[in-house]
């Protein structure tokens, strides 16, 4: 039995558009962490980074519950690396890659992971809306490259709606992505692990009738969305979705945990994005999936902390994952 408690730095809050969700996750994780195992110290990166640096020598592990930019994008991970504090989420490189939906697609495609048809769009470059509509069809989806919680995301159903949707995406980021609209069953796949990966049961997401997609309200207002785990899909799809979630975790150099969003459309699964710090309230999707695998919320937090400590023990670099497409390249 451990005689001393682990000192845990719990980071939540921050300054992204997902601050409130992050604070909620932090609050609930703090309440659920077993006080006989952990002494929890809370830090809000918006105000407390100086204190974190000052306390670093006495911290054993960090639980980072930050969503969006900055926080999920590698910046906080870099600071923790400098402070030699292990943490439960992906390292600097993987976090930065996964935060950018356009860059992620490059790595997904390298790893043979299917994605919707897409076009990358840059602010200040001339955008030929007609050509993009021609290529992707209508409706199409426009989203900022680096955001989360569906912020800045629109479904474009007519040519007139293209420009305002692009403006909404550029309000969040200088880079946007236009994607083919996939109509079908939305699912998400959680993964836990560093070297050995555990795929959690797939969750099916059914936004309520008032929501045309899994938008901000549908995500965070109680009762707006049905989240069903295990998903009511053919076991073959469930297996493939789990494999794709694990492949995405590897392709984006993830460690600790991840959650990959997908859509089953016309009999095919396409990957939308991978979250390196998935929502962490007890009713969020990753905890829900962990619950279906027999791991309650407190046990999930224990596991995440264990995985963080394991990375340190193994002296892994935080971006240790080596996707097969890198290994398989012919020597020059």
In the list 116, 201, 256, 279, the residue contacting ligand ADP (rule: CB under 6 A) is 116
Least separation in angstroms between CB 203 and Mg ion: 12
Letters for 75-114 (x = contact with ligand ADP by CB under 6 A, - = none) are ----------------------------------------
Pick the catalytic residue from 12, 255, 275, 284.
275
Pick the catalytic residue from 100, 149, 255, 284.
149
Q: Which residue is nearest to ligand ADP (CB)?
A: 214
Verify whether residue 275 is a known catalytic residue: yes
By CB under 6 A, tell whether 261 contacts ligand ADP. Answer: yes
Pick the catalytic residue from 261, 284, 297, 303.
261
Contacts of 119 (CB under 8 A, 6+ apart): 132, 135, 136, 177, 178
Distance CA 53, CA 216 (A): 33
Verify whether residue 194 is a known catalytic residue: no
Asked whether the beta carbons of 278 and 195 are under 8 A apart, the reply is no
- Long-range contacts of the stretch 215-219 (C-beta < 8 A, 24+): 215/150, 215/153, 216/149, 216/150, 216/151, 219/149, 219/150, 219/279
By CB under 6 A, tell whether 14 contacts ligand ADP. Answer: no
Contacted by 18, from ligand ADP, Mg ion, none: CB < 5 to 8 Å by type: none
Verify whether residue 296 is a known catalytic residue: no
Q: Which residues bind Mg ion (CB under 5 A)?
A: 261
Verify whether residue 18 is a known catalytic residue: yes
In the list 272, 280, 305, 308, the residue contacting ligand ADP (rule: CB under 6 A) is 272
Least separation in angstroms between CB 264 and ligand ADP: 11
State which residue, 211 or 312, has the beta carbon closest to ligand ADP.
211
By CB under 6 A, tell whether 185 contacts ligand ADP. Answer: no
Pick the catalytic residue from 215, 220, 255, 291.
220
By CB under 6 A, tell whether 273 contacts ligand ADP. Answer: yes
By CB under 6 A, tell whether 214 contacts ligand ADP. Answer: yes
Contacted by 243, from ligand ADP, Mg ion, none: CB < 5 to 8 Å by type: none
In the list 149, 175, 240, 258, the residue contacting ligand ADP (rule: CB under 6 A) is 149
For ligand ADP, the binding residues in 152-181 under the rule CB under 6 A are 153, 179-181
Distance CA 198, CA 218 (A): 28
Distance CA 287, CA 300 (A): 7
- CA nearest 167: which of 186, 183, 154? 154
By CB under 6 A, tell whether 72 contacts ligand ADP. Answer: no
Contacted by 182, from Mg ion, ligand ADP, none: CB < 5 to 8 Å by type: ligand ADP
Size of the site for ligand ADP (CB under 6 A): 18
Least separation in angstroms between CB 84 and Mg ion: 32
Pick the catalytic residue from 19, 250, 259, 270.
259
Report, as residue numbers or ranges, the catalytic residues: 18, 149, 220, 259, 261, 273, 275, 279
Contacting residues toward ligand ADP, per CB under 6 A: 116, 141, 143, 148-150, 153, 179-182, 186, 213-214, 261, 263, 272-273
């Amino acid at each position: 039995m451990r005689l001393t408690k682990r000192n845990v730095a719990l980071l939540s809050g921050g300054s992204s558009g997902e601050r409130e969700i992050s604070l909620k996750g932090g609050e609930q994780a703090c309440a659920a962490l077993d006080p006989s195992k952990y002494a929890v110290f809370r830090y809000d990166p918006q105000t407390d980074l100086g204190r974190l640096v000052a306390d670093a020598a006495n911290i054993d592990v960090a639980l980072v519950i930050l969503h969006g930019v900055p926080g999920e994008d590698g910046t906080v991970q870099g600071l923790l690396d400098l402070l030699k504090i292990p943490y439960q989420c992906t390292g600097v490189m993987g976090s930065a890659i996964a935060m950018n939906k356009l860059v992620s697609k490059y790595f997904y495609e390298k790893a043979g992971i299917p994605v919707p048809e897409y076009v990358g769009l840059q602010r200040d470059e001339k955008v030929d809306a007609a050509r993009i509509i021609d290529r992707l069809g209508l409706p199409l989806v426009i989203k900022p490259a680096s955001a989360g919680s569906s912020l800045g995301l629109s479904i474009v159903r007519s040519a007139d709606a293209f420009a305002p949707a692009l403006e909404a995406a550029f309000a969040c980021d200088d880079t946007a992505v236009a994607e083919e609209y996939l109509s079908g069953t939305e699912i998400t796949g959680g993964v836990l692990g560093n070297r050995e990966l555990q795929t959690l049961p797939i969750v099916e997401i059914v936004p309520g009738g008032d929501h045309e997609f899994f938008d901000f309200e549908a995500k965070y207002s109680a009762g707006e969305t049905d989240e069903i785990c295990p998903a009511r899909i053919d076991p073959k799809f469930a297996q493939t979705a789990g494999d794709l979630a694990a492949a995405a975790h590897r392709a984006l150099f993830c460690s600790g945990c991840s959650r990959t969003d997908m859509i089953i459309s016309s009999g095919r699964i396409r990957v939308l994005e991978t979250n390196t710090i998935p929502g962490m309230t007890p009713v969020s999707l990753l905890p829900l999936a962990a619950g279906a695998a027999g791991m309650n919320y407190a046990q999930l937090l224990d596991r995440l902390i264990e995985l963080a400590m394991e990375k340190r023990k193994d002296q892994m670099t935080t971006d240790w994952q080596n996707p097969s497409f890198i290994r398989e390249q012919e020597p020059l």
